[in-house]
Amino acid sequence: MDHLFEFLLRQGDNALVLGHRTSEWCGVAPALEEDIALANTALDLIGQTQLWLGYAAEVEGKGRSANDLAYLRDVYDFRNALMLEVPNNDFGRTLMRQFLFDAFQVPWLTALSASSDERVAGIAAKSLKEATYHLERSSETVIALGDGTDESNRRMQDALDYLWPYAGELFGQDATDQAMQDAGVAPVPASMRSVWDTQIEQTLSAACLSRPDTSFAHSGGCNGSRHTEHLGHMLAVMQTLQRSYPGAVW
């Protein structure tokens, strides 16, 4: 296995899958300002996808493009975290997921900006600017909705309880992670945990929300061994034109 390719797919697929989910809000958000902000987030993530998957395709060296990787792989070849592929559900869950992910991405991309691989460092530095802004917005929104009304507090706690068992997968430490650390490309994701915990603690406290009392973590997304049932449906929609009209140029 080419660990660098695998590592790049993880970064690209996280951005692609969350970007796609976020784009599902276009036109139906709770307020116009939120509609515009969600579209911005989705656009940033799709832009990051192009960079990560573009580099992944080069590293693979089999003549595939970023679009080939996005549109012509099936579920078991995707390497995104499970948390990012579960359905949006309500606006609360969508923003809670964004927050849990952003709180990981900011320290993670900060570390990747110092990668020994210049391409990785460059993509990370560009993405970090976006992730920093995303975290500012998602943490403020989580606080507002947690602190808002009884109903909004209940919805945000439900969202957190649902997502929590998926969040742990972000902090992996498998052979690919180890190989990236050995090569100086990236620290192991598990080393981000304490910074993440601090951010989560602060925001949840301001949002009047309780951290779930479990350390259980689902896995199977980042290594592709067992995705949720939801990813296949997402890909069926996303890939329909490329699958239905092979070889067409759009």
Partner 1 sequence: MYAQMVKSEATKDDPEQLAAFQARVDADEKIEPKDWMPEGYRKTLIRQIGQHAHSEIVGQLPEGNWITRAPTLERKANLLAKVQDEAGHGLYLYCAAETLGVSRDELTEMLLNGQMKYSSIFNYPTLTWADMGAVGWLVDGAAIMNQVPLQRTSYGPYARAMVRVCKEESFHQRQGFHVMMAMANGTADQKRMAQDALNRFWFPALMMFGPSDKDSVHSSQSMAWKIKMNTNDELRQKFVDETVPQAEYLGLTIPDEKLTWNEDTKEYDFTEPNWDEFFDVISGNGPCNVDRINMRQKAWDDGAWVREAMIEHAEKKAARKLAAE
What six digits make up the tokens of 23? 């784009």
Residue found under tokens 């958000």: 29
- Single out the residue of 47, 187, 212, 232 in contact with partner 1 (rule: CB under 8 A): 47
* Alpha carbons 95 and 205: distance in angstroms, whole number: 16
Q: Given the complex with partner 1, which of 1 and 28 has the nearer CB atom?
A: 28
Q: Which amino acid is at 189?
A: P
Angle in degrees, CA 232, 233, 236, rounded to 5: 85
DSSP three-state, residue 249: coil
Q: Residue 89 — left, alpha, or beta (φ > 0 → left; ψ -120 to 50 → alpha)?
A: left
Residue 39 found at the interface with partner 1 (CB under 8 A) = yes
* Alpha carbons 40 and 102: distance in angstroms, whole number: 14
Residue 36 found at the interface with partner 1 (CB under 8 A) = yes
Q: Comparing C-alpha atoms, which of 187, 32, 219 is closest to residue 112?
A: 187
The dihedral built from the CA positions of residue 189, 57, 46 and 228, taken in this order, carries a sign that is negative
Q: Given the complex with partner 1, which of 40 and 110 has the nearer CB atom?
A: 40
Segment lying near partner 1 (by CB under 8 A), choices 101-109, 137-145, 168-176, 189-197:
137-145
CA separation, residue 210 to residues 142, 157, 167, 182, 205 (Å)? 13, 7, 15, 37, 7
Q: Which residues from 63-122 bind partner 1, rule CB under 8 A?
A: 66-67, 70-71, 90-92
Q: Given the complex with partner 1, which of 35 and 174 has the nearer CB atom?
A: 35
Q: Given the complex with partner 1, which of 26 and 175 has the nearer CB atom?
A: 26
Residue 245 found at the interface with partner 1 (CB under 8 A) = yes
Segment lying near partner 1 (by CB under 8 A), choices 99-107, 190-198, 212-220, 233-241:
233-241
Q: Given the complex with partner 1, which of 53 and 81 has the nearer CB atom?
A: 53
* Interface size with partner 1, residues (CB under 8 A): 49
Segment lying near partner 1 (by CB under 8 A), choices 38-46, 110-118, 119-127, 191-199:
38-46
What six digits make up the tokens of 55? 């580099």
Least CB distance to partner 1 at residue 178 (A): 30
Angle in degrees, CA 107, 109, 113, rounded to 5: 115
Q: Which residues from 141-160 bind partner 1, rule CB under 8 A?
A: 143-145, 147-149, 151-152, 155
In the complex, which residues of this chain contact partner 1 (CB under 8 A)?
A: 20, 23-24, 26-36, 39-40, 42-43, 46-47, 49-50, 53, 66-67, 70-71, 90-92, 143-145, 147-149, 151-152, 155, 237-238, 240-242, 245, 247-250
